[in-house]
Structure 1
Amino acid sequence: MSADWFDQMPKTHRWLVGVSGGADSMALLNLLVDQGFRELVVCHLNHRLRGAAADDDADFVANAADRLGLSVEMGTADVPSLMQKSGISLETAAREARQDFFANCASRWQCPRVILAHHAEDQAETVLWNLLRGSHGCRGMQRERTMGDLTYFRPLLGVRRAELRDYLRSKGLPWREDASNAEPIAVRNRLRNEAMPLLAEISGRDLVQALGSAAESDAGLREIAAFALHQAEVRDPQGRLHLPKMRTLPVALQKAALVAFLADAGVGDISRRTISCCIELLSPEGPTAVDLANGKRLRRRAGRLLVESQHGQELD
């Protein structure tokens, strides 16, 4: 495993670490300790999805943090209720609950940095899912991404799942297994357990490596697109999209601008259909608003595109 990230980051700073109790996050936590990070806050969220097993996960993480002499922040979220109330998918509801939890932890601990344990297989699944959705191309997760006041770090994106388990075994360290990962209910589970093994067999290639390389190439193209959009100054001082300038761009850059704009506004589930509907707002003869996920709406007003609540209040 590459130690570059661990060597470059300030070890005396406080860091929040997302720990589920599974092998990946337990490996990350212990790697951080091995590398000399001491000001760690172990953050665990119980999603209320797995009954007593989820409670056991929370106890396991709390005990692990105690053994390592680390601070711990435990939270709970009623993800099923959030899903029903908002009409969003289980995965989206869980993601939003985690983001809210980390934001609260960051505020309590005055720490804007969160380290997560996503690895190479997670990256490959993300790329494949984005390809199927049609809105993000070969986009993968970023090693470092700022969302609002928080910056998320993923130092293990180049590390394989097996390497992390080998590391834990070599240290004699335990972890929790989430039986729901094997259930063919969530889309990501089916990609991981059914689609990816089949595609690897058909292609005869290392699919994780291939999709990871595609994500790296895509990231380079997005950097070029971001530079072009910056040069075009498509956002006004308030952060809204400037319609006259947007209309001068090629369609590919228009779509890139919209995806980035919606992502910055915290809109989840940005599908190809969503972007197609949003593109219609660029035309003066098109609709004036498009309903989005998360109870938000994209509206055309006074030569600008802005995100508002579905009650008509503009969102920062």
Structure 2
Amino acid sequence: MSSQDFLRLHAASRRARHLVGVSGGADSTALLHLLIDAGWRNLVVCHLNHRLRGAASSADQRFVERTAAKLGLPCESGGADVRRLMKNSGTSLETAARMARHAFFASCARRHRCRRLMLAHHADDQAETVLWNLLRGSRGPRGMKSGHVMTMDGIGMQVIRPLLHVRHADLVAWLRERKLTWREDATNAEAIGVRNRMRHEALPLLARITGRDPVAALVRAADDMAEIDAMERDLVTAARVLDPAGRIHIPALRTLPVPLQRRALHDFLTNHGITGIDRALLDRALALLDPATAAATNLPGGTHLRRRAGRLQIESPPIEALPATQHPD
């Protein structure tokens, strides 16, 4: 298969600069090489060292920096004390790592004046996301979007996922066929954490029970839901729920039916990088529309959603992440 068979991107975008998140693992390494093969050159490789695996994390960083140098691409690398961030914010390790990455990507965006970020999420990741959203009861069978704007540390980033319909195994096969190397994270193979257990236990069990590939079915469900999402989004947009400052205008939100109010709140939180959104959190957010209730509710990651002067806004403490280090061409 050629690189064009993998990537779902508009060719005209090649001239614009894009940041590419590269961990050094198979998926992001494949994305980087696929982009190069497809003629993308105006790329900035971005790698955050989470400092969770000691010498292995440092080796990952060196691998990414060498790969970028071989391809003639600039590389931004930085580090974050994710365990300390987890302790200070009272979140899970996974959430703390995501917060650190968002802060790092935002610093890269400022340095390069580029708000376009490509990530290597693939079909297997999408299936896990859909299954997890179903179990949380907050979004139905929704998955990650192939392209959308997400706020990262105060910057509206255009997040692009060109591999959402590609299986992880196909990416690995493509790398092997071209004799390209990547870094292995041993923790990905361990059945610990919700996402890893879904990957290694839940999805294989569903395949054995049904005799069908659950990943393909869950990805199709996400595609179907995306079409419904587009219609809902048009209705929310027509209601002018956001004010010019990007806050939720409560009187406008209350003109919508409750299901669309919930949808608007979910999108608002997601676009501000809030994760772990469940039905209970959305119900607490809806309660803020009543001026007789408490004026704020806590959000994952140590932030909170506050009602102030007829608006809803997210207030958050600064995120601890070390600045990026630039590696020129």
From 211, 219, 223, the counterpart of 2:218? 211
8 Å Cα contact 1:25-1:117 kept in structure 2: yes
Range with greater deviation from structure 2 (187-196 or 249-258): 249-258
From 297, 303, 311, the counterpart of 2:304? 297
CA distance in 2, matches of 1:238, 1:104: 22
Matched, 1:140 2:147: no
Q: Which residue of 2 aligns with 1:100?
A: 103
CA distance in 1, matches of 2:9, 2:273: 29
CA distance in 2, matches of 1:237, 1:176: 44
Q: Which residue of 1 aligns with 2:227?
A: 220
Deviation by residue 1:223-273 (Cα, 9 ceiling, x = unmatched):
111111122233334333333343343221111111122223333322211
SS in 1 for 2:171: helix
SS in 2 for 1:11: helix
Structure 2 runs not aligned, ≥5 long: 318-329
Identity, in percent, stands at 55
CA RMSD of aligned residues (A): 2.0
Query: Aligned-pair distance for 1:157?
Result: 0.6
Are residues 219 and 182 of structure 1, via their aligned partners in 2, closer, same or farther at CA, if it must alter by over 3 Å?
A: same
Range with greater deviation from structure 2 (110-119 or 192-201): 110-119
Are residues 249 and 40 of structure 1, via their aligned partners in 2, closer, same or farther at CA, if it must alter by over 3 Å?
A: closer
CA distance in 2, matches of 1:19, 1:164: 14
Q: Which residue of 1 aligns with 2:124?
A: 121
User: Paired residues, what number?
Assistant: 311
Deviation by residue 1:107-126 (Cα, 9 ceiling, x = unmatched):
11222211111111011111
Q: Which residue of 2 aligns with 1:195?
A: 202
Q: Which residue of 2 aligns with 1:314?
A: none
* Counterpart residue identity of residue 158, structure 1: H
Range with greater deviation from structure 2 (105-114 or 277-286): 277-286
8 Å Cα contact 2:149-2:271 kept in structure 1: no
* Counterpart residue identity of residue 156, structure 1: L
SS in 2 for 1:149: strand
8 Å Cα contact 1:232-1:245 kept in structure 2: yes
Q: Which residue of 2 aligns with 1:167?
A: 174
Deviation by residue 1:90-138 (Cα, 9 ceiling, x = unmatched):
1111111111111111111222211111111011111111111221221
Structure 1 runs of 4+ off > 6 angstroms?
none
Query: Aligned-pair distance for 1:7?
Result: 5.3
CA distance in 1, matches of 2:224, 2:302: 33
Range with greater deviation from structure 2 (182-191 or 285-294): 285-294
CA distance in 2, matches of 1:191, 1:4: 26
Q: Which residue of 2 aligns with 1:149?
A: 156
Matched, 1:264 2:267: no
From 43, 48, 59, the counterpart of 2:62? 59
**Please, what TM-score do these two structures have when normalized by structure 2?**
0.88
Structure scoring higher RCO (CA < 8 A, sep ≥ 6) equals 2
Paired residues for 1:71-86 under 5 Å: 71-86=74-89
CA distance in 2, matches of 1:245, 1:109: 36
Structure 1 runs not aligned, ≥5 long: 311-316
Matched, 1:48 2:51: yes
Query: Aligned-pair distance for 1:309?
Result: 4.4
* Counterpart residue identity of residue 85, structure 2: L
Q: Which residue of 1 aligns with 2:285?
A: 278
